[in-house]
Structure 1
Amino acid sequence: MTTEKLDVLIVGAGLSGIGAAVHLTKRSPGKSYAIVEARERLGGTWDLFRYPGIRSDSDMYTLGYNFKPWTSRQAIADGPNIMEYLHETVAEYDVESKIRFERKVVSASWSSDTAEWLVSLAHGDGGSSQIRCNFLFMCSGYYSYDEVHDPHFEGRDDFEGEIVHPQFWPENLDYADKKVVVIGSGATAVTVVPAMAETAAHVTMLQRSPSYVASRPGEDKFALALRKFLPSKAAYLITRWRNVLFQLFTFNLARKKPKMVRKKLLDMVREELGPDYDMTHFKPRYNPWDERLCAVPDSDLFNVIKSGQASVVTDHIDRFVKDGILLKSGETLEADIIVTATGLKLSTGGSAIFDVDGETVNFGETVNYKGVMFSGVPNLGMTMGYTNSSWTLKADLTSEYLCRVINVMERKGYDSATPTLPADGSMELEPLLDFKSGYVRRAISDLPKQGQKKPWRLNQNYPKDIINLRHRTIEDGTLVFAKAKNPDPVSNMSSDAETVAA
């Protein structure tokens, strides 16, 4: 087995990993790096999900990278457009030559003696390899690609039609002129329903409880107007900040005045569907932004409901039957196809096993440091996007911060950087996310914790994180730097690191 030696190993060739590679080449030039990707193609989420209508639920002026303007007319972009953007980025910055496809991280072991991670990889063809690196950057997202939240439904085997989950959408699924029931009310369901309704006989969105939904334009007229008068980078920056501040304003307003924001959101739905529509189906039991708000581009969901192509049913499932779903109310929803848009399964660090000097790392027992690193775990960064704003806003800042850490280590001759909790153990801990979505509640015990004050507090605030990650000192006394205890001359990282035999 050969062991490759690198300065930085990036895990995941999706939106975060590609961005991390570009930031590394721009901000820490000369550092050797590679990206390992478990799948055979780049793109992560945007290549994995193939369900009808797949699109962003954030505007692309904030979901796009801070170094590459989004130039398509679409503000809420579909999957193919996002993939095109990623391929453009990869080509522009020569990233693809650094990607090792079909390489899944099985384990990662840190040695304080050599100040290196030893990362074991399983290959798609059944082979294996190892990579030694000084810094490990996890950009593999927050959910499992292999498992989903798929609750048990009584009578599932009795149903004579097809059952599909959006994460594992079958190629060439024929739903034309079929009766479809989509179970769920989140962003995926809100996307799938109008897309399938274009050709299906009828689509029913079956929800146990409603979510907040709001229509927004598919194109941003403000952004398009700016492009006529300003260079693309300037127009992009202005639009980006306008949208960031609006997102932050609405989120904070929802937290401070939830009743007012709730009324506004429900009034908007009422305006879309008309005075006679039963608003029971769009009145959530929770406050706005306790869960993520679902975007409806150009009113597409509301349009198919008004046209009769789709409908919403709020009820509980009793069991599946041969021709559909029997509800607790006694009604049967007939279906040829059932789509279980029942949610994701969160996973910190994927399925890999991590250890530090032989001690297994349980991320649920660690404490988040600046939303980037973890207590007691050296030279490991992880992209964790915002729950109340676009993922890439935080991904960009995370990459910038880790480049700053790497540069300080090189400049001052350090080999490791470890977030270290106060020795007196006085800090009170609480869950990492104050979010009531089912996928968060199901995984909360496995997620890292957070403290009640900086730098152990997770910000859900982009402007604050700009100060925190881009401008505050790296050497804050909490991030403890050290040199390798017993450095192996072959292992010392340098700008001309090369592959060596194990």
Structure 2
Amino acid sequence: MPDTAAQLTSSSAQTAEHFDVLIVGAGISGVGGAYHLTKQSPGTSFVVLEGQESFGGTWITHRYPGIRSDSDLYTFGYRFKPWTGKPIATAKEILDYMGDVIEENDLARHIRYRHHIVSARWSGEDNRWAIEGERLDTGAPFRITAGFLWMCQGYYRHAEGYTPEWEGMADFKGRIVHPQTWPKDLDVTGKQVVVIGSGATAATLVPNIADDCAHVTMLQRSPTYFIPARNANDLADQLRKLEVDEAWIHEIVRRRILHDQSEFARRSFEEPEKVKAELLAGVRAYLGPDFDIDSHFTPSYRPWRQRIAFVPDGDLFRAMRQGKASVVTDEIERFTEKGIKLKSGKELPADVIVTATGFHLNVLGDIAVEIDAKPLDFSQTVTYRGMMFTGIPNMAWVFGYFRASWTLRSDLVADFVCRLLGHMKDKQARRVEVALRPEDKDMPLLPWIDTENFNPGYVTRGMHLLPKRGDKREWQHTQDYWREKNEFPAIDLDDKAFVYK
């Protein structure tokens, strides 16, 4: 690495390309941001930098068997591009959809792949960002300056997944893999496989390898809520029979789903026991009355305190009922040569162990950020609506929803950024940042999210790295799409929270 560091330092003296906006990441948010810039801010020069070899973000990072969405594509898809397939889509289908967006809107010329950003430095004297990094295809350094930095890199580290350290892992004679870095040469045919985890990844992987394995066991420390249902949307199918235009179908179905999700979220808070009973009844319908639902699929927390995964056509539970897969709820004592010893004393035999145990939280793309030559401590900033941060000029970050599709928020943030850029142009301002107003000075500062409200492991493990929130809505990432869809367009850009120069 010393050679690379020296190259980057020397590149600083080179003439840098300049753009009005630099978008970090060509995943679902970055491609959407590029689209909105071309439509809402024509004439704005911009570039999208992506570290991977192509667009797609999570959909090219994850290549394990059966990789699919756990959100419906009528809401995970863009509002401007009708979705015409099944609600739960494969990674390939999502990549094809994103590819169409890029091709139809001539976005490819704005995207540069294999560009790894190392640092981002803000200069108050120049009112611009200086971005330095390395081209992964050639090893050459690059330097770009930009007036505005739009962080669309997502929330987790793509290079590696999170795997806890268990005693005896080095003793295991088989293979240990994380779904995020699924090996191309891994063949599970005829093997005993244990998948550690109970989230969407495990629920996707287990039924997709069950036919090939000798047996696959889902090992979980505690149960998770699931929604098993047909991978179809009856309303969309009916409208297609009536030959309604796909753009209309997309909008109508999207609104219906969002209405139903809003009602479901409300009920999970106001009548959690009823919602819990309904969710468990859905699982029982697939597994039958004799299955031990209480032990294996009845969480100790109320619904929506963690993300609820959709199980299309109940494939996870059908694999279990057919005896191809099983579930064990227990804690790991240690790994052994032949598998995993549990605290109950039972030992699970395994040839392959898959650790579907989550992500490493990614904070601003793991990029070294400086503000006027001073390293940024992101955790000491306060968030404005989960997208701007005190003390960081000319930057917005897309962090999506937990209880609704990620893309819903990326569209809202895109509208806001485009409106903010236009407002800055009208004011002839080259700099904007958010700051606590006089009435906010004594506001209590709290962790990024209330863990009593929502507590996924990747957030709680990385909470110390994330910005603070206040006790007022504008100083929080509320996770409430159904109110934010009306609040964001009404944001007063001349509010005292915005400081222009």
State if a TM-score over 0.5 links the two structures: yes
Classify the secondary structure of the residue corresponding to 1:41: coil
Classify the secondary structure of the residue corresponding to 2:253: helix
1:361 to 376, 383, 396: 376
| CA offsets 1:81-121 (integer angstroms, 9 cap, x no match) | 00110111111111111111111111111111111001111
2:290 corresponds in structure 1 to 276
2:477 corresponds in structure 1 to 458
Partners of 2:177 and 2:31 lie apart in 1 by 30
The one-letter amino acid of 2:448's match is L
Tell me the CA shift for residue 263 of structure 1: 1.7
2:444 corresponds in structure 1 to 428
CA contact (8 A) 1:193 1:301 kept: yes
CA contact (8 A) 2:210 2:319 kept: yes
Tell me the CA shift for residue 356 of structure 1: 1.3
| CA offsets 1:132-178 (integer angstroms, 9 cap, x no match) | 10000000000111232211111111111111100000013111111
| CA offsets 1:416-453 (integer angstroms, 9 cap, x no match) | 11001135721112222231111111011111121111
The one-letter amino acid of 1:425's match is K
Classify the secondary structure of the residue corresponding to 1:451: coil
CA contact (8 A) 2:22 2:150 kept: yes
Partners of 2:395 and 2:240 lie apart in 1 by 40
Tell me the CA shift for residue 309 of structure 1: 0.3
1:415 corresponds in structure 2 to 430
**Higher RCO, 1 or 2 (CA under 8 Å, sep at least 6)?**
1
Partners of 1:82 and 1:419 lie apart in 2 by 35
Tell me whether 1:132 sits opposite 2:149 in the alignment. no
2:268 to 247, 251, 254: 254
1:37 to 42, 50, 54: 50
Tell me the CA shift for residue 201 of structure 1: 1.1
RMSD (Å) for aligned C-alpha atoms:
1.2
1:170 corresponds in structure 2 to 183
Q: Where does 1:305-316 land on structure 2 (aligned, <5 Å)?
A: 305-316=320-331
Partners of 1:342 and 1:397 lie apart in 2 by 30
Partners of 1:363 and 1:257 lie apart in 2 by 37
| CA offsets 1:210-268 (integer angstroms, 9 cap, x no match) | 11112022121211222333211111011111111111111121012222211221222
| CA offsets 1:174-201 (integer angstroms, 9 cap, x no match) | 1111111000001101110000102111
Tell me whether 1:347 sits opposite 2:359 in the alignment. no
CA contact (8 A) 2:207 2:319 kept: yes
Partners of 1:151 and 1:461 lie apart in 2 by 31
Q: Using the TM superposition, name which of 250-259 and 15-24 deviates more.
A: 250-259
Tell me the CA shift for residue 415 of structure 1: 0.5
Partners of 2:331 and 2:472 lie apart in 1 by 41
Partners of 1:306 and 1:88 lie apart in 2 by 39
CA contact (8 A) 1:2 1:129 kept: no
2:100 corresponds in structure 1 to 88
The one-letter amino acid of 1:205's match is M
Tell me the CA shift for residue 459 of structure 1: 2.5
1:243 corresponds in structure 2 to 257
The one-letter amino acid of 1:443's match is G
Partners of 1:438 and 1:286 lie apart in 2 by 14
Partners of 1:463 and 1:338 lie apart in 2 by 40
The one-letter amino acid of 1:261's match is V
Q: Between the two proteins, what is the percent identity of the paired residues? A: 45
Partners of 1:289 and 1:476 lie apart in 2 by 34
CA contact (8 A) 1:27 1:403 kept: yes
The one-letter amino acid of 1:380's match is M
The one-letter amino acid of 1:428's match is P
1:499 corresponds in structure 2 to none
Tell me the CA shift for residue 43 of structure 1: 0.7
Partners of 2:104 and 2:407 lie apart in 1 by 18
Partners of 1:389 and 1:398 lie apart in 2 by 15
1:297 corresponds in structure 2 to 312
Tell me whether 1:181 sits opposite 2:194 in the alignment. yes
Classify the secondary structure of the residue corresponding to 2:240: helix
Partners of 1:93 and 1:292 lie apart in 2 by 33
1:107 corresponds in structure 2 to 119
Tell me the CA shift for residue 359 of structure 1: 2.1
| CA offsets 1:15-71 (integer angstroms, 9 cap, x no match) | 110000000000000000000001111111001100011010000000000111111
Unaligned runs of 5+ in 2: 1-13
CA contact (8 A) 1:17 1:140 kept: yes
Partners of 1:354 and 1:478 lie apart in 2 by 23
- In the superposition, the TM-score normalised over structure 1's length comes to 0.94
Partners of 1:94 and 1:429 lie apart in 2 by 44
1:497 corresponds in structure 2 to none
CA contact (8 A) 1:324 1:335 kept: yes
Partners of 1:202 and 1:402 lie apart in 2 by 50
1:488 corresponds in structure 2 to none
1:472 to 469, 491, 494: 491
Partners of 2:258 and 2:144 lie apart in 1 by 38
CA contact (8 A) 1:13 1:44 kept: yes
The one-letter amino acid of 2:290's match is D
Tell me the CA shift for residue 317 of structure 1: 0.9
CA contact (8 A) 2:161 2:181 kept: no
CA contact (8 A) 1:183 1:341 kept: yes
Tell me the CA shift for residue 457 of structure 1: 2.4
Partners of 1:217 and 1:411 lie apart in 2 by 50
Partners of 1:383 and 1:302 lie apart in 2 by 34
Unaligned runs of 5+ in 1: 483-502
Tell me whether 1:445 sits opposite 2:445 in the alignment. no
Tell me the CA shift for residue 321 of structure 1: 1.2
The one-letter amino acid of 1:344's match is F
1:48 to 61, 66, 69: 61
Tell me the CA shift for residue 467 of structure 1: 2.0
CA contact (8 A) 2:160 2:181 kept: no
CA contact (8 A) 1:33 1:98 kept: yes
Tell me whether 1:332 sits opposite 2:347 in the alignment. yes
CA contact (8 A) 1:46 1:82 kept: yes
1:142 corresponds in structure 2 to 155
CA contact (8 A) 1:370 1:469 kept: no
Classify the secondary structure of the residue corresponding to 2:56: coil
Aligned residue-pair number: 481
2:7 corresponds in structure 1 to none
Tell me whether 1:375 sits opposite 2:390 in the alignment. yes
Partners of 2:464 and 2:239 lie apart in 1 by 46
